Chain A
Amino acid sequence: MSGIKTTITPHPMNQTNFSFIRKWILIGIALLFLGLFLFLPLVAVFTEALKKGLEVYYLSLVEKDALAAIKLTLITAAIAVPINTIFGVIAAWAITKFNFKGKNILITLIDLPFAISPVISGLIFVLLFGAHGVFGPLLAANDIKIVFAIPGIILATTFITFPFVARELIPVMQEQGTEEEQAALTLGANGWQLFFRVTLPNIKWGLLYGIILCNARAMGEFGAVSVVSGHIRGLTNTIPLHVEILYNEYNFSAAFAVASLLAILALVTLVIKSIVEWKSERSKVTV
């Protein structure tokens, strides 16, 4: 029937032609945009980094201050990510499995770091722990340095990256409901068994996804860390801050070489993220 129709009236044919063109125009625009704003900068980072040859690239990375920045970034992530993983799971658990007053306030609080500018987040810590801050005199009296030192950087990073794990887990856990946990309880499981044998396997992909995003942000955070760091070379510089310093000194090759590390981190994150998404989709279908 439809075959006959198309031979009589050319209209449907035209329509498919039109939708074909429309489809490719839309795809073209999307690709052009991605190319201009994402792919081109990425290529630029690597070409700039390798402009003066592999040797300069390598030397820029193993230079003393660069290594210190990489080390500090790794330490920061190694502390901030586990903290946020644990608290993210606890917060998501509390929100999805229990009913209590002030639940909405808690959800809003979790989103707070997303809502405010990172620079303000950094400033909060300066105002709290800086020399003229609320706890400043107390800290100075006990010879504890937080702002312009590593603890400040870790605090700021933890604050900025707090929402990632909780935000990922809340929808996953909401979908799960509490019946499986109740069943485990009636079968005699204790709290730990309940979490590790029933809850965790159900949320593992969402959790991993949240951890990956949290880690990427922890390593790449600039604004908040910049405010609390003090930019002391070899001491309180993370990778993004080190890149800025090198760039401001017109040391472009070195700046881009170090920046390429963050770019590689981003690419690796994307690959892992895709794998995780693919796996979790599959586990949804088969299990």
Chain B
Amino acid sequence: MSINIQDVSKSFGSFPAVNHVNLEIPTGEFVALLGPSGSGKTTLLRIIAGLEQVDYGTILFKGIDTTRKSVKERKVGFVFQHYALFKHMTIFDNIAFGLKVRPRKTRPSKEEIKSKVYELLKLVQLEELANRYPSQLSGGQRQRIALARALAVEPEVLLLDEPFGALDAKVRQELRHWLREIHQRLNITTVFVTHDQEEALEMADTVVVMNNGKIEQIGSPEEVYQQPVNAFVYSFLGRVNTFREGGIEGYVRPHEIKVSKILTGTTNVTSEVIHVHSVGAIIRIELKRQDTGELFEVEIDGEKLLEFGRLKKGDILYANLTNIKTYSNNYLTNRTFIKESFINKTQSIPFGN
């Protein structure tokens, strides 16, 4: 089912949580609403579900105006960050709830409900837990049951509010793959909210980056990462170094900075090693520019580290800071950020200290 959000606004008191937002979600898409806390992403999701009423604007489901329809009429599946399972019901009854509350005319028979529940338990791979209570399950299991419960009513849209936010890193990783698989199998329009850029980039077909109640950028993970439209998106979507010069901020990702141990024409900003994080495939080096005193981070691979030999605090590296990006009025400006004056011209190479 396609969702069309047209010029939607919602305030809490005087705080504009969602501010004139337009968004089109085609049928079967897997969309991430990504943003820092307070960016309005959860409010937007709850507006789609009908759990919040809009102050202004229109929401269309399949082209039909749904703005004033109740949660019940919208037939969405909603998964909460803290699971919101019914504590006093067994897992079976939790999943069956949506079917059991249907009016008699459309309510399936007991046998049909039972087979549907077991089919869903099989989908979430937790068949053996039917008679347990939510408190007897781990966080990851609870969230899978919450998803099964949401899917039981056969919604045409699945909405997930920070679904993995309360889980530990390993379980989160597992569930990401698993949710993608389920989406591929059922091909149901899915919108999920996250503040974790890695999660959004890894899972979604389309990433919607939000900030201060507005959408900053909509695009594929590659687009938003490679071609961020403004400084906010650039800095939110990955590790970033910020440099200031004459009131203008410039940004560059740690892996985009080349460093060498000898001064060359391109790697020419003298920097002192502050710290080396060498766990994992990527080695992060914290550096301090000697000209401006600004701290920044570079990422190199293990091979490069071997080339450098042992790096320790106080060593000097030379960095290439020429591909710094700056934005003005949300447009990428192509001017070179590093002025001639910043570039180290001294030829004395302070080795061996």
Contact = CB atoms under 8 A, between A and B. Distances in A.
A202 B88 contact: yes
29 contacts: A180-B86, A182-B51, A182-B80, A182-B84, A184-B101, A185-B51, A185-B71, A186-B71, A186-B76, A187-B98, A187-B101, A187-B149, A187-B150, A187-B153, A188-B101, A189-B72, A189-B101, A190-B101, A193-B101, A197-B97, A197-B101, A201-B86, A202-B87, A202-B88, A286-B135, A287-B87, A287-B88, A287-B134, A287-B135
B102 interface: yes
Interface of A: 179-180, 182-190, 193, 197-198, 201-202, 283, 286-287
Given A182-B84, A183-B80, A286 B133 contact: yes
A144 B134 CA distance: 56
A186 to B, nearest CB: 4
Contacts of A202: 87-88
B87 A188 contact: no
**3 closest A-B pairs by CB:** A187-B98, A179-B84, A186-B78
Contact of A188 (B51, B135, B146, B153): B153
Interface of B: 49, 51, 71-72, 75-78, 80, 82, 84-89, 97-98, 101-102, 133-135, 146, 149-150, 152-153
A197 B77 CA distance: 19
Given A190-B72, A202-B88, A287-B135, A184 B80 contact: no
A198 B72 CA distance: 16
* Max chain A C-beta neighbours (<10 A), residue from B86, B98, B102: B86
Contacts of A183: 78, 80, 84-86, 146, 149
A78 B182 CA distance: 55
A100 to B, nearest CB: 13
A188 B86 contact: no
Given A183-B85, A189-B101, 4 more contacts: A180-B86, A184-B101, A188-B102, A287-B88
Contacts of B72: 185, 188-190
Nearest to B70: A185
